[in-house]
Chain A
Amino acid sequence: MSASIDQLTDWVRRFAAAVHEHRDELTRLDSAIGDADHGSNLDRGMTAVVAALDAEPQPSAAALFKKVGMTLVSTVGGASGPLYGTFFLRVATASGEVTELDGPAFAKALRAGLEGVVARGKAEAGDKTMFDALAPAVDALDAALADGDPLGESLRAAATAAASGRDATIPLVARKGRASYLGERSAGHQDPGATSVTLLVVAAAEALA
């Protein structure tokens, strides 16, 4: 089964709705170990993304994700703007000028996005960042597709892996970003970036089911 451009657009819209719904939770998590703006910054960015897509539907996967990435880079600020922006820009390049993506092509695009996040943020496993939820999700997606599972089912496995990765950030000591200034005091708090990127993977599982 392939994901159509309408389904890919629906993924972005569902993510925007989830960020809006969880805005206060994301900010609350960020105020414990960061600077209390993750929910409001990402919500501002995704609201701008939805407005841009309403104004001008995008004809291809590359155009869609490039629009999302550039809008986030231009509106979010902080660290999450460049990180989410780079993610979507790399997804755009890997997707190409097509109107649908099959399972392996979607997985390849997500992998490229993950690599963009790593290149931009220099995070490694266990640093208590969005990487800790996104990387296991991309790995789980690859594994499920390799087992011959359809894309929708594979994305549900990815969402489960993202949520586990998110929960596993709680005991970690932050080694990147503003939370790292806290040292040991950052342990015991769930990472806001890992939380928001789990919303992104869950939205994909819903939209591309």
Chain B
Amino acid sequence: MKKLINDPADVVAEALRGMDAAHPELRVDHSDRVVYRADAPVRGKVGLVSGGGSGHEPMHGGFVGPGMLDAACAGEVFTSPVPDQMVAATRGVDGGAGVLHVVKNYTGDVMNFEMAAELAGAETGVEVASVVTDDDVAVQDSLYTAGRRGVGVTVLLEKIAGAAADEGRDLAAVAAVARKVNDRGRSMGMALTSCTVPAAGQPTFELPEDQMEIGIGIHGEPGRRRVPIAPAREVAAMLVEPVLADLDFTGPDGVICFVNGMGGTPLLELYLMYNEVAALLDKAGVRIARSLVGPYITSLEMAGCSVTLVKADDELIRLWDAPVNTPGLRWGA
């Protein structure tokens, strides 16, 4: 294992120290491992709290700031945070208008946030609503699985719901627009390499030099299938086709198209992939209204990418274009 770390046990704590030092506009509670915007709570505004295992940076801590999240809870690498953290964050961002929890659909995350919502309600009286993202088309959604995983849509949802909260909408309305983004979003990812959890010391799975894994999640979970490595234009088709097959993305309002890097793939390749994805969407009659390219929801140093589409409309485009000022996403501010 070659990593820029001191002790594997201290990776999350020390990264949070660095984040705190680099960003005076954030406030980090190091005992609860919660990243807050420094001016939280914002009076009268719905608070947005997310969180999850570490190793997906910039998500979620890097999306804390005006126009996006009010707080993010950091778990151990690839392990859900615990309810105490979420209760502290909920209390810390409540400006009197209630708090929305943004949860990715993984069994541990869902259960811990559920307990946190119950505890926060009982202990603090804060009104809490939750939205669960489940956009990964690689997982069959049926009675026989834990349901689809929450992946790329989470980034777009946090941006859009953050803008809705900034507009002064109430909790029910912010939750409604968040659910709308999830309902209209689909993703599919792939990996060229595995990744190494610091505490484990060795790669989560073995992927031979001439193979790639299609349909991966963001924790090195297995994908749909393992296939020989192929040119980017064929890889793009393997990602775009199942997304388009799952939801009709045609229409005059177009889509927000997000090509995400898994952590170990350079922007040069991500833009090359975006070019292939855009060509495929054009051929399928899908108009791109807005785009985002870069490593925003990662899986440590995994090489690979994912494609997320969200079916847009005037409301979503306006909220997408609204100013945002976070370490990981910044425009118009």
A74, B146: Cβ atoms under 8 Å? no
B222, A180: Cβ atoms under 8 Å? no
A180, B80: Cβ atoms under 8 Å? no
A176-B107 contact in complex given A74-B83, A77-B82, A182-B222, C-beta closer than 8 Å: yes
B222, A178: Cβ atoms under 8 Å? no
Is A170's beta carbon under 8 Å from chain B? no
The 4 closest A-B pairs by CB, nearest first: A82-B111, A78-B108, A180-B145, A79-B108
Query: Which one, B71-79, B156-164, B262-270, B303-311, is touching chain A?
Result: B71-79
CA distance A57 to B18 in the complex (A): 39
CA distance A173 to B146 in the complex (A): 12
A77-B84 contact in complex given A83-B111, A175-B145, A181-B221, C-beta closer than 8 Å: no
- Interface centre among A73, A75, A120, by most chain B C-beta atoms within 10 angstroms, is A73
Interface membership of chain B positions 233-271, coded 1 if the CB is closer than 8 angstroms to chain A and 0 otherwise: 000000000000000000000000000000000000000
A177-B83 contact in complex given A77-B76, A79-B107, A185-B222, C-beta closer than 8 Å: no
CA distance A79 to B200 in the complex (A): 19
**Chain B residues whose C-beta falls within 8 Å of the C-beta of A82 in the assembled complex:** 83, 108, 111-112, 114-115
Contacts beyond the supplied A77-B112, A181-B139: 9 A-B pairs with Cβ under 8 Å: A36-B200, A73-B82, A73-B83, A73-B84, A73-B115, A75-B82, A77-B76, A77-B79, A82-B114
CA distance A173 to B142 in the complex (A): 14
B144, A78: Cβ atoms under 8 Å? no
Is A96's beta carbon under 8 Å from chain B? no
**Distance from A32 Cβ to chain B, minimum over Cβ atoms (Å):** 11
CA distance A35 to B149 in the complex (A): 15
**Distance from A36 Cβ to chain B, minimum over Cβ atoms (Å):** 7
**Chain A residues whose C-beta falls within 8 Å of the C-beta of B222 in the assembled complex:** 181-182, 185
A41, B115: Cβ atoms under 8 Å? no
**Distance from A81 Cβ to chain B, minimum over Cβ atoms (Å):** 6
B145, A183: Cβ atoms under 8 Å? yes
**Chain B residues whose C-beta falls within 8 Å of the C-beta of A37 in the assembled complex:** 78-79
**Distance from B246 Cβ to chain A, minimum over Cβ atoms (Å):** 17
B145, A181: Cβ atoms under 8 Å? yes
Is B58's beta carbon under 8 Å from chain A? no
Residue of B nearest to A121 (CB): B111
Interface membership of chain B positions 50-92, coded 1 if the CB is closer than 8 angstroms to chain A and 0 otherwise: 0000000000000000000000000110111111100000000
B146, A177: Cβ atoms under 8 Å? yes
Residue of A nearest to B136 (CB): A181
B111, A74: Cβ atoms under 8 Å? no
Is B143's beta carbon under 8 Å from chain A? yes
**Distance from A89 Cβ to chain B, minimum over Cβ atoms (Å):** 9
Residue of B nearest to A89 (CB): B115
**Chain A residues whose C-beta falls within 8 Å of the C-beta of B37 in the assembled complex:** none
Residue pairs across A and B with Cβ atoms less than 8 A apart, 9 shown, are A37-B78, A73-B84, A79-B107, A79-B111, A120-B111, A120-B114, A121-B107, A181-B221, A183-B144
A181-B111 contact in complex given A36-B200, A77-B75, A78-B80, C-beta closer than 8 Å: no
CA distance A51 to B167 in the complex (A): 48
**Chain B residues whose C-beta falls within 8 Å of the C-beta of A120 in the assembled complex:** 111, 114-115
**Chain B residues whose C-beta falls within 8 Å of the C-beta of A41 in the assembled complex:** 79
CA distance A173 to B143 in the complex (A): 12
- Interface centre among B80, B107, B204, B217, by most chain A C-beta atoms within 10 angstroms, is B107
**Chain B residues whose C-beta falls within 8 Å of the C-beta of A152 in the assembled complex:** none
Residue of B nearest to A44 (CB): B76
Interface membership of chain A positions 166-209, coded 1 if the CB is closer than 8 angstroms to chain B and 0 otherwise: 00000001011110111101000000000000000000000000
**Distance from A152 Cβ to chain B, minimum over Cβ atoms (Å):** 34
B78, A178: Cβ atoms under 8 Å? no
A178, B75: Cβ atoms under 8 Å? no
Is B219's beta carbon under 8 Å from chain A? yes
A74, B107: Cβ atoms under 8 Å? no
Interface membership of chain A positions 31-43, coded 1 if the CB is closer than 8 angstroms to chain B and 0 otherwise: 0000111001100
Residue of B nearest to A70 (CB): B84
Interface membership of chain A positions 107-122, coded 1 if the CB is closer than 8 angstroms to chain B and 0 otherwise: 0000000000000110
